[in-house]
Amino acid sequence: MLIVDAYNVLHVTGVLPPDLAGLEAPDLADLVAASRWSRHQVMILCDGTKPREIRDRRGAIGVHYAGGGVSADSAIERLVNESSHPRRLTVVSNDRAVQKTARRRGATVLRADTFLAQLAHDAQRAPRGRKAVLRRDPGPLSARQVDAWLRYFGMEP
């Protein structure tokens, strides 16, 4: 099973090509579905509670929310600690405490930028039929994306 700290992955800059930049959690699920991880059970864990308009599953790839007052980091640590087969887990996170917990239990750890680079590489090499995520119409930017770009360029919202 692959457990992904969504916040860490979604806030990595300088790794994705421009046509994939500005991902949201469901977009990340689509990108994972078109990658080497497509046959794994994948849990993309986000902070907070699930917005109503978000779809939360694409096959074995689910977008989950830690819930109110619970961080994704805490939820990931709990999942790793409660796993009966932690050596079968791969945890994607830049959080040192999460990485330490995962390594202590024998899980594989990937940094968010390494994982995202794998996804970008797989997306570029995918056969035409599997590049659906590359052909998506991004539409207008969400308020969150606008805020992220403003921060990136050092501008006040």
User: What is the pLDDT, as a whole number, of residue 97?
Assistant: 97
The answer to whether residue 28 is domain-embedded is: yes
Report the distance separating Cα 64 and Cα 21, nearest Å.
Answer: 21
| Rg, C-alpha atoms of the chain | 16
The answer to whether residue 100 is domain-embedded is: yes
User: What is the pLDDT, as a whole number, of residue 119?
Assistant: 93
The answer to whether residue 47 is domain-embedded is: yes
Domain that holds residue 54: 2-152
User: What is the pLDDT, as a whole number, of residue 44?
Assistant: 95
CATH of the domain at 108: 3.40.50
User: What is the pLDDT, as a whole number, of residue 134?
Assistant: 43
User: What is the pLDDT, as a whole number, of residue 19?
Assistant: 77
The answer to whether residue 157 is domain-embedded is: no
Assessment of whether the complete model's pTM goes beyond 0.85: no
Report the distance separating Cα 98 and Cα 105, nearest Å.
Answer: 11
Domain total in the chain: 1
User: What is the pLDDT, as a whole number, of residue 131?
Assistant: 47
User: What is the pLDDT, as a whole number, of residue 137?
Assistant: 52
Q: Which of 44, 52, 100 is nearest to 72 (CA)?
A: 44
Residues contacting 35, CB < 8 A, separation 6+ = 118, 119, 122, 123, 126
The answer to whether residue 107 is domain-embedded is: yes
The answer to whether residue 29 is domain-embedded is: yes
Mean pLDDT in consecutive groups of 10 residues from the start of the chain, 157 residues: 95 84 88 91 91 62 90 96 96 97 97 94 73 52 83 80
**Within 10 A of 76 (CB to CB), how many other CB atoms are there?**
25
